[in-house]
A and B are shown apart, each in its own frame.
Chain A
Amino acid sequence: MLLIFEQILNGVQYGVMLFLLAAGLTLIFGIMQVINLAHGSLYMVGAYAGTWFAQETGSFWLGLPAGLLAAALTGVLIEVIVVRRLYDRDHLEQVLATFALILIFNQLVIMIFGRQPFFVAMPEGLQESIQLLPGLQYPPYRLLIIAAGLGVAVGLYFLITKTRIGMLVRAGATDREMVRALGVNVRLLYTVIFGFGALLAGLAGYLAGPIFAVQVGMGEQILLTTFVVVVIGGVGSIRGAFVAGLILGVLDTCLRAFLPGILRLVMAGPDADALGAGIAAMGIYLLMAIVLLIRPQGLFPAAH
């Protein structure tokens, strides 16, 4: 029972990380109609830049703003140089141009940091597991990630429903012309949104460092899962990204944790492990296919 509870907590932690990535991606999807495969690269940039700065200064907490800043700046840069030209193009060209960006960023990271993965220590003060329930020791760092994700979710909710920029974002998702008519600099608005999405991706990347290794290609693994989150949640919907992120985080984590064990009841150990891992990895895609077939626009379709 405790084991299940622990895995569910791990799933929630993975889920909020997916949400941090998906929030930016779904905004960019919903408002600019751009498929940005390079979103995973921004996650990687945040992780590398932050981790490098943390190692240079010896402080995890100093690495955080560095990672956020680097990811946001990179985001603004690619918006201005590349993505801006893709707004009026079809999806195929967007996919390929941002696919090219993945190649470029991966190679640049290899050239700067090498191929060796970085392993990052838990931040000072959060290394010791704490007792959540009798018999359940849990690393506080993971709780911190959950708190950060929930904090961002609440912040985004207020930003979008209560502020002028949020109003523009909501309007932009449904009616670009209206936003233009309000005399808003749409170009600048897009750059800001893109940079903000990049910042969230960088946050996710940096926080992921102590849990997964910081390595080249880290962005692509999680990117595909993030796309699944966005599509299941409904393209353009922050609320959908949050719900779908949590569902997928928990589902994926639990399948990986428990499926091989269940299969081992009926087949040989190594085969059960391999098959279990395979099916567990298929799980989220299967869920997406089912959701799309029942609700082609996702769980929370953004108003259009």
Chain B
Amino acid sequence: MDRSNALKTLAAVIGLLALVAVPIIADAAGSTAWISMATRILIYGMAAASLNFALGYGGLVSFGHAAFFGLGGYVVGILYQTYADETLLFGFIPGTNQLLVTLPATILVTGIAAAAIGALSLRTGGVQFIMITLAFAQMLFFFFSGLSAYGGEDGLIIRRTNELFGLNMRDRATLYWVTLAITALFFVIYRRLTMSSFGTIVSGLRQNERRMAALGIEAYRYRLIAFILSGIGTGIAGAMLANVMRFTSPDLLAWHTSGQLMIMVILGGVGTVTGPFLGAAVLLILEDVLNAWTENWPLILGLVLLVVVLQARGGLMAIVNLVRGNRS
């Protein structure tokens, strides 16, 4: 028991060191594109992990998480534009380019949005829940598409990444390390959440709502809180993506993005802690590699996805666990 714990800690430390070293290795290999890729993987990993809390742990199949992803991006974008134009948003909110302000603002905005969407959507279930979450995301998609003051369909360019402690955020490696630090913090909180008392209740509701009711649990409020936490996590990822891409657009809110996040979750393994990060890495790298190889890459991606869904239940984490299990 102690030995396996020590091994786990060792593996975590080595993993973290490897992640920290990515920009250095990429520089040495002369492929700085890896840094951008690694940054995006971390960000999409956070978004997918957040979705996984609602979907994998809570059994809430949300087809509308792109809404929170995109909202996070627009919080950063709109605050930046307000800052650049030196105007006031709604006549009283000053803009900002400080990450330490935009992230809490994202948490506030996506938290409120998730509370509103969740409070209404959770009154339904099953197919209707999937569709109503999709509907709310589509509403936001069309809303931002029509919002010409902030770029409309073309999206919103953020000229400079948010500032943090006077770091040189234009440097890709620095931006990567900042993202990594945020992801690491996110991961620690997320992992504790999945193992917490609250996480146990949420997962219990997925498995058997009737049993939980017989134990004294009102499903609605727990699911709502889980949905809000999930939305906030996805929003933070969206805010980081806008910072890294220096751009945000309605595409982030499109239903394809919701689908993409779901694919990452199922690729990595539904209801696992590290699976979504693995899923994000595999999907983004796969898209990249296939894209370089053939213009017909969506066909191959579709086939891979089909095989994974139909054949490999439990996703990549099931395979990882299988290998691990065989070894010990």
Chain A contacts to B: CB under 8 angstroms:
29, 35, 82, 85, 90-93, 95-97, 99-104, 106-108, 110-111, 224, 227-228, 231, 235, 270-271, 274-279, 281-282, 285-286, 288-289, 292-293, 296-298
Contacts and interface: CB of A to CB of B under 8 A. Distances in A.
Nearest to A285: B135
A271 B135 contact: no
Contacts of A82: 306, 310
A297 B301 CA distance: 35
B244 interface: no
A100 B120 contact: no
A297 B128 CA distance: 8
Contacts of A111: 296, 299
B316 to A, nearest CB: 14
Interface residues of B, number: 43
B127 A231 contact: yes
Nearest to B266: A96
Contacts of B228: none
Contact of B142 (A92, A108, A278): A278
B259 A99 contact: yes
B131 A227 contact: yes
Interface of B: 55, 61, 63, 120, 123-128, 130-132, 134-136, 138-139, 142-149, 152, 255, 259, 262-263, 266, 270, 296, 298-299, 301-303, 305-306, 309-310
Top 4 nearest A-B pairs (CB, nearest first) are: A278-B146, A103-B302, A107-B299, A104-B302
Contact of B61 (A91, A104, A227, A277): A91
Given A93-B266, A285-B136, A101 B146 contact: no
Interface residues of chain B: helix, strand, loop or mixed (majority): helix
Given A91-B127, A296-B128, A271 B148 contact: yes
B128 A95 contact: no
Nearest to A106: B298
B135 A275 contact: no
B301 A103 contact: yes
Contact of B132 (A95, A274, A288): A288
A103 B127 contact: no
Contacts of A97: 305-306, 309-310
B60 to A, nearest CB: 10
Contacts of A289: 120, 132, 135-136, 139
Contact of B270 (A92, A271, A275, A278): A92
B123 A293 contact: yes
6 contacts: A92-B61, A100-B309, A102-B302, A227-B134, A228-B135, A293-B120
A302 to B, nearest CB: 12
Contacts of A275: 146-148
A118 B126 CA distance: 38
B310 A85 contact: yes
- Select the residue from B125, B127, B299 with max chain A CB neighbours within 10 A: B127
B14 to A, nearest CB: 32
Nearest to A298: B128
Contacts of B136: 285, 289
B299 A108 contact: yes
Nearest to A231: B131
Nearest to B137: A285
Nearest to A93: B309
Which has the most chain B C-beta neighbours within 10 Å: A93, A235, A276? A93
A239 B20 CA distance: 59
Given A97-B306, A107-B298, A107-B299, A277 B132 contact: no
Contacts of B301: 100, 103
Given A108-B299, A224-B255, A99 B263 contact: yes
A82 B308 CA distance: 12
B305 to A, nearest CB: 4
B127 A35 contact: yes
Given A104-B299, A293-B123, A296-B123, A99 B131 contact: no
A292 B146 contact: no
Given A92-B266, A96-B309, A228-B135, A29 B146 contact: no
A72 to B, nearest CB: 21
Contacts of B128: 231, 235, 292, 296-298
A298 B128 CA distance: 9
A91 B298 contact: no
A82 B309 CA distance: 10
Given A97-B309, A101-B306, A282-B139, A288 B131 contact: yes
A96 B305 contact: yes
A247 to B, nearest CB: 15
Given A92-B61, A95-B63, A279-B146, A296 B266 contact: no
A224 B138 contact: yes
Contacts of B302: 100-104, 107
A35 B301 CA distance: 20
Given A275-B146, A281-B138, A289-B136, 6 more contacts: A91-B61, A92-B61, A101-B302, A276-B146, A278-B146, A296-B125
A286 B142 CA distance: 11
Contacts of B296: 107, 110-111
Nearest to A286: B139
A275 B149 CA distance: 10
Contacts of A277: 145-146
Contacts of A285: 135-136, 138-139, 142
B130 A288 contact: no
Nearest to B301: A103
Contact of A292 (B124, B139, B303, B305): B124
B65 to A, nearest CB: 13
A97 B146 CA distance: 32
